[in-house]
Structure 1
Amino acid sequence: MLTRKLFRTALRYKAQFLSMVLMIAIGTGVFLGFHIEWKSLEQNADAFLRETKYADYRLYSESGFTEDDLRSVRGIAGVDAASRFLSIPAAVKGTSSSVALQVTENAAVSSPLVMSGAAYDENGDGIWLSDRFADENGIRLGDTLTLTYLGLEISGPVVGLIKSGENMICVADENQLMPDFARFGFAYVSPQKLAGVLGTVYYPQFHLLSGLEKTVLEDRLRAATGTTLLVTAKEEHIAYAGMQSEAEEGKTMGAVLPVLFLGIAVLTMVTTMHRIAANEKVQIGTLKALGFRDRRILLHYASYGLAIGLAGSALGVALGCLIASFIIGPSGMMSTYLDLPAWKLVMPGFCIPVVLASLAFLTLISYLSVKRMLRGTAADALRPYTPKAVRKSAVESLPLWSRLSFGTRWNIRDILRHKSRSAMTLLGVFGCMLLLVGGLGMRDTMERFLSMLDRDISHYRTKLLLTESAMLPGGVGVLYILITALAREYELSLAIGWRTCIVSIALTLGVSLLVSRMVARKNKKIDMVEALKDAA
């Protein structure tokens, strides 16, 4: 009988019940979604970095590191593995794209993860290419790829498609905010292959696996090598730092937004259950008069909160997984920033206890709302609910009080009579407005920030990055064509002879600065003839 009464009551107060279920579902969903997001990001990224032997420390030297330096570093207590490492920008011949061409002497440090094709061979003759770069540019296993660096060509078959912890966030430099695999990727070659093309390999980096503190490692490096080296920890590298930044954002969102949603849901629960208990006071008294024990009546009305909590939590779990999968996944938002081999959803261990605690709290609210109605005898419970009497307030003593309408005075008295309910309503409205203003304000703030970054800070429309080969004789024609194309795009007057361009570029690197200034001055015509004459 009481079960049927539960459904009848839910149907009677369907608007209130539905609002509470939705608020709990949204709160639980946002809570689980963002916490699953940051936990999944950390777990997947950490597993990937461990698998690719991501370096704990990076050492830099302009003069390069020798074999003797390598032996000295490997002999330091606390250094588990070390490898000389090289990363150079190389252009893909016949295209406008480029790659970070990387070499590691020791596959136990900063090695690639082969997704398909042959395993990485330190003595191999092929090229291991980023799988996403290959996919964006239509490159397949077995295709011959030619890379150019300093006028030299590095050619070989694509023997493997890879991912790399070093390039988990694959950007050309700090000015590139988001990866663009159609234009920039990464590739690995063996030390022997690069040495065969260049004659020798210059290694400006050391990559180390070590659990030592940075200060301790610096002291031991100084003692072992006799020089002071630039040492950076993995927390300072863009791949690890970017991943940690995204995880911290997820933790922040998971700690702030769910509190607001669940807080509003709890306030709605308190006010709604108080009204239901007040409206059903006569029914509560009737049940008590019919012989139902107080405990059974309390459990019946407490089941209202439990049912609402279960329905909202079930929807919230589904919503949370949907939110997390929308962010974390092969086609999710995070995949445009991070290049990971696996995207598995992982829930933090504290999420289930928090959801169960919220269920218990909602049940407790329903229990306490009815408990006061059961005080006294059945005859007391059968009496209709009467609001508590209040004294004349200070507001009613004001001269303006008599000029107010009856409805306004009624509302003011009702607010003063039910102070707690009014305070909860005020907090609920405050929370809702906070979410609205915060969400819309965040969007407007980001749009204003990007606008300020593009127009007020970065005073250029195009950034021209010249490779070393661009200044060699073979690259002069390419540079001239590029300048001509830019001039045509921005409607700049270009009246210059081929011979003048060759002489100017061959004599000085100042042409790079001129090109930068040309692009920076948008919507203005620059007389390229006079500018290049001055530089010459």
Structure 2
Amino acid sequence: MVKGALIKKSIQDMKKNRSQFLSIFIMAALAIGISVGLDTIWTTIDAHSQNFYQDTNISDFWVAASNPSELNLWRVRNIKGVQKAEKRFTVNNATARIDGKPILRVYAVPSENTLDMSLIMSGKKLSKHGAILDRSFAQANHLSVGDPLTIEVNDKRIDTTIEALALSSENIYAVKDTASMMPDPKGYGFIVIDEDRIASAYGGRKPYNQIEVRLAQGADAAEIQSRMDSIFGKKLNFVMAQTDNRGVNFANAKVIQFRSFATVFPFMFFLVTALITFSTMMRLTEDQRNQIGILKALGYSKKSILWHYTSYGVFVGMAGILVGILFGPNVIGRLLLSKIKNLMTFPVEDMVINISKFLFGASIIMTFTAGISFLSCLKLQNEAPAELLRTKMPKKGRHIFLEHFPHVWNHMKFSQKLTARNAMRNKFRIVVSILGVSGCAGLIIGALALFDLVSGIPKTLYEKTYSYDQKVILDSDTTDRAIRNLNLDGIVQDMEESSVQLTTQEGLRKVTAVSVFSKESPLIHLKDAEGNSVTLPDTGIAMTRKLAELMNVEVGDIVNLKRSSDTYYPVTIMKIVYMPSAQGIYMTDGYWQEIGENFRPTALLVQWNKKDNDFLNSGYITSYTDRTTQKSDFEGNLSAIFGTSLLLIVSGTVLAFVVLYNMGMLNFAERVRDLATLEVLGFHQKEIRPLVLTENIVSTVVGIFLGIPIGKYLAGTIAGGFGDDFDLISRVTPDRILIAAAITLTFAAIVNHIVRKKIKSIDMLQALKSVE
């Protein structure tokens, strides 16, 4: 009976204050949903990639060397800290003799190798005469286990049979060449064959060109890599760390990006939710002081009363948490992971939820819903029932700061003075309201800045930096002279793109991209971070800003560049250029030859006067793409981040409305008796309304201004959390601030319209009657 009465009272109280409870529920659901949803992205990618690396026994680094000997291999194996080292051969330009003539990356391995194994999804282990084929490539080209397949390597045919379909952790994210922005499983994949089969394409010898190295736990990777120079000498091309592998780097970048999103934005959601929930639950409990007095007078125990009021927060908090955990992974997680699924290949596709982060978030929500209700009620338990049944004495009036300036105070209207005094009497609620609005405005500004950051990358690259119509990847046998003899109708710029190893004076190593082209560069327009044009230096190199930061170097510093057939060559960093993506170094073709390299164009950039389809279909090229297609593919590459920014913009606006509505209703509830008194005294509605509405607008405007630096901080933090391959400059433009301000002020106007109606419908008799 007693419990039943309290349950009925709970239902009645929740109905009476349904708007406040609903707002807390929405804020809790949003905070948990955004936090768990974004966490699901990076934890899923991280867990699947790490398991994939472990299952395939991926190397810690790869040594690219020309025909490494058994003595070289023995020396690597005997370095302290090296757990295992194995030889293999890999080439990236084999052709599959099927429709479309797609390109395959070939791995030729000894049967006893255990590093960088392919994860077999169907079929059997590799035999001497068979092949393991990329599962995605096989599915796209309608190939299956048991089918014959012919590949062409070094202009020699190799006939084989598909024995298994597999996935490779080295090829989580696999693109064919520098013209490709998106994985194309129909046009590019990998194949694994026995080392004896590749020998037939190279005159009967086994052409090893790579050493796979696995380190013992705690080994000094940098120190071990530095030993490769003395072991391989002129044979050494470069040493590529696991994190420099394109697929591994892409997966790591996605983890870094979404971990950054899942840390910065949910923090703001939790902060705003905590502030508003704290204020709301404390006010709701305080408003029940008379009810608590009645319950105590009727003989209800302290424990029953405490649980009764704590349960309000428990139920609304738990409801928000439950909806958030269902909404986050199943809507946000699945939606964004579906966009990433097209970019990366994993053996499994199930989601991984960060339980510890969820429990942490849930504990915050419960602390500020149930915890505040409990403490507020506990504080009132020390008062006698007779004391609780009396109306709480209003706060003692005090002179406010403005009154010390008579020339200002005396010129203020009565309603303005009353508003100012009321605001100072309820400083805590005003502060919470301002902080809540500033947090929401900052969230919206930060989310808009994230959208601008992401959309700005392809615009900068393919609208400002590059001005070609098409990028053509040349066949390895195509010479610069052959291209000139074609007399293509348009502006033509040839370039060589490859990878080189750089080392600093302090011993830091980095395998990075190098782009070599003429100084005039009619179709590539390099710029610095301020947008000023940069021309390539006659001697020395230009380095991207982010790479310079990673290698801790600046203009004037010397780095050692590993030449293809010699030792290191010292090159001076003459200029720093800005590239939002694809970090690397640039130099002129003349300087490239000066340091001892042969300039062999690998790509051709063309701005057509008249498109030459005969050339595009000739044997001179292996593939080509349009700049507009590259831009579109790059945007597709970033589609998950685009989706995240839109999600955060929508969620931020919803939170802003909930915060403004909640604080507007609290302000009205606190002033009902005062407003009714003024109405009895003969004040008109147009004189009464500003007392509440002005306060709401002022706190909103102040909150918007305070939200600008918060938005800028969020934008700067996000810009720095995109990974090593991205160099983003956060810019919060005035139009984005105006959009956030317009959204917030629109919601404030809607809330004021609702409050205006409530003021008009105040029941004076009900509002002014005493407790007795």
1:385 aligns with one of 383, 392, 399: 392
Question: SS of the counterpart of 1:337?
Answer: coil
Distance 1:191 1:453, change over 3 A: same
Q: Pairwise mapping of residues 326-345 of structure 1 onto structure 2 (< 5 A)? A: 326=334, 332-345=338-351
Instruction: State yes or no: 1:250 paired with 2:253.
Output: no
Q: Would you say the 8 A contact 2:148–2:162 is kept in 1?
A: yes
Aligned to 1:491: none
Determine which of 516, 525, 533 is the counterpart of 2:604. Answer: 516
Alignment match, 1:201: 206
Uncovered stretches (5+) of structure 1, i.e. residues with no partner: 488-508, 529-536
Change (3 A) 1:449 1:286: same
Structure 1 partner of 2:114:
108
Q: What one-letter code is carried by the residue in structure 1 that aligns with 2:90?
A: S
Please tell me the residue identity of whatever aligns with 1:210: L
* Alignment of 1:16 onto 2:104: no
Q: Read off the aligned partner of 1:284 and give its amino acid letter.
A: I
* Deviation (angstroms), 1:348: 3.8
Q: Which amino acid letter does the alignment assign opposite residue 456 of structure 1?
A: K
Query: Equivalents in 2 of 1:365, 1:28: separation in Å?
Result: 19
Work out whether residues 130 and 163 of structure 1, in 8 Å CA contact, stay in contact via their aligned partners in 2.
yes
1:240 to 248, 253, 264: 248
Of residues 37, 41, 44, the one that matches 2:45 is 41
The question of 1:457 aligning with 2:465 is answered yes
Paired AA for residue 82 in structure 1:
A
Structure 1 match to 2:84: 81
Contact 1:86 1:203 in 2 (8 A): yes
Tell me the CA shift for residue 219 of structure 1.
5.8
Assess if the C-alpha contact under 8 Å between 1:112 and 1:120 holds in 2.
Answer: no
- Please tell me whether residue 59 in structure 1 is matched to residue 63 in structure 2: yes
User: Structure 1's 132 and 287: CA in aligned 2 closer, same or farther, altered over 3 A?
Assistant: same
Residue 367 of structure 1 aligns with which residue? 374
TM-score under structure 2 normalisation? 0.58
Question: Does residue 1:309 correspond to 2:312, yes or no?
Answer: no
Aligned residue in 1 for 2:289: 281
2:265 is the alignment partner of 1:262: no
Alpha-carbon contact 1:149-1:469 (below 8 Å) kept: no
Shift of 1:407: 4.6
Whether 2:100 is the aligned partner of 1:95: answer yes
Matched, 1:118 2:121: no
- The one of 332, 339, 363 aligned to 1:357: 363
The whole-number CA distance in structure 1 between the counterparts of 2:601 and 2:251 is 34
Q: Bigger shift: 75-84 or 98-107?
A: 75-84
> Which of the numbers 146, 150, 159 marks the counterpart of 1:146?
150
The answer on whether the counterparts of 1:278 and 1:385 sit within 8 Å (CA) in structure 2 is no
Contact 2:88-2:208 at 8 Å conserved across structures: yes
Distance in 2 (alpha carbons) for counterparts of 1:328 and 1:277: 40
- 2:10 maps to amino acid: L
Q: Secondary structure at the match of 1:28?
A: helix
Q: 1:449 to 1:390 in 2, by over 3 A?
A: farther
My pick for the range that moved more, 400-409 or 159-168, is 400-409
Cα displacement string for residues 115-152 of structure 1 (whole angstroms, at most 9, x for unaligned residues): 1123223x22x332211122223333333333333433
Q: How much does 1:173 deviate?
A: 4.0
Which whole-Å CA distance do the structure 2 matches of 1:28 and 1:510 have between them? 56
Deviations for 1:134-193, whole angstroms, at most 9, x for unmatched residues? 222333333333333343333333222110011112122466443222322222222111
CA distance in 1, matches of 2:197, 2:442: 60
Alignment correspondent of 1:490 = none
Q: What is the deviation of 1:386? A: 4.1
- Helix, strand or coil at the partner of 1:129: strand
Kept after mapping to 2: 8 A contact 1:22/1:312: yes
Higher mean C-alpha deviation, range 395-404 or range 83-92 = 395-404
The 8 Å contact of residues 6 and 304 in structure 1, kept in 2 or not, is answered as yes
- For residue 447 of structure 1, report the CA deviation from its aligned partner: 1.2
User: Would the aligned equivalents of 1:35 and 1:348 in 2 still touch at CA under 8 Å?
Assistant: yes
CA–CA distance in structure 2, aligned partners of residues 49 and 194 of structure 1: 26
Higher relative contact order (CA 8 A, sep 6+): 1
State the distance in 1 between where 2:610 and 2:234 align: 52
Question: Once structures 1 and 2 are overlaid, which stretch shifts more, 32-41 or 201-210?
Answer: 32-41
Percent identical: 25
1:50-95 CA deviation, whole Å, 9 max, x = no partner? Answer: 111211121122x321333333433445433322222221233341
CA distance in 1, matches of 2:226, 2:11: 73
Q: Are the structure 2 counterparts of residues 189 and 398 from structure 1 closer, same or farther at C-alpha, using a change threshold of 3 Å? A: farther
Task: Say which is worse superposed, 220-229 or 371-380, in terms of deviation.
Answer: 220-229
The answer to whether the 8 A contact 1:306-1:360 is kept is no
| Distance across 1 between alignment mates of 2:415 and 2:380 | 29
State the 1:511 CA deviation: 11
Could you report, residue by residue, the CA deviation over 1:365-387 in whole angstroms, capped at 9, with x for unpaired residues? Answer: 11233344444322221122343
Output the CA distance in 1 between the equivalents of 2:138 and 2:406: 79
Are 1:159 and 2:163 matched, yes or no?
yes
Provide the C-alpha distance between the structure 1 equivalents of 2:289 and 2:222, rounded to a whole number of angstroms. Answer: 71
Deviations 1:316-353 (A, max 9, x none): 21123215641686xx2222222110133334453354
Q: Return 390-399 or 186-195, whichever deviates more.
A: 390-399
Q: What secondary structure, in the 3-state scheme, does the structure 2 residue paired with 1:140 have? A: coil
Q: Partners in 2 of 1:65 and 1:327 — Cα distance?
A: 47
Describe the SS at the equivalent of 2:104: strand
Amino acid at match of 1:395: L
* Change beyond 3 A, Cα 1:236–1:387: farther
Matched residue type, 2:106: L
For 2:246 and 2:195, the matched residues in 1 are separated by 24
Q: Structure 1 residues 404 and 298, CA, compared in 2 at 3 Å: closer, same or farther?
A: farther
The number of residues matched between the two structures is: 493
Per-residue CA deviations over 1:207-261 (Å, capped at 9, x if unaligned) read 1122232234246556666778433321222232322222222322222222211
Cα gap change, 1:278/1:51 in structure 2, threshold over 3 Å: closer, same or farther?
A: closer
Change in Cα spacing, 1:131 to 1:322, as seen in structure 2 (3 Å) is same
1:422 matches 2:425 = no
Where 2:165 maps in the other structure, the secondary structure is: strand
The structure that is strand-richer by fraction is 2
1:217 aligns with 2:224: yes
CA distance in 1, matches of 2:344, 2:62: 21
Cα separation, 2, equivalents of 1:76 and 1:375 = 73
CA contact (8 A) 1:32 1:321 kept: yes
RMSD: 3.4
TM-score, scaled to structure 1: 0.82
Contact (CA 8 Å) 1:76, 1:221: kept in 2 or not? Answer: no
Deviation string, structure 1 residues 289-329 (Cα, Å, up to 9, x no partner)? 22234443233212211112111111121123215641686
Q: Report if aligned partners of 1:76, 1:224 keep a CA contact under 8 Å in 2.
A: no
Post-superposition Cα deviations, 1:474-518, rounded to whole Å, max 9, x if no partner, equal xx99x98xx89x99xxxxxxxxxxxxxxxxxxxxx99968x824x
CA distance 1:526–1:8, shift in 2 (3 Å): closer
Structure 2: 5+ residue stretches without partners: 493-597, 614-772
- After alignment, is 237-246 or 400-409 more displaced? 400-409
Distance in 2 between the 1:376 and 1:470 partners? 92
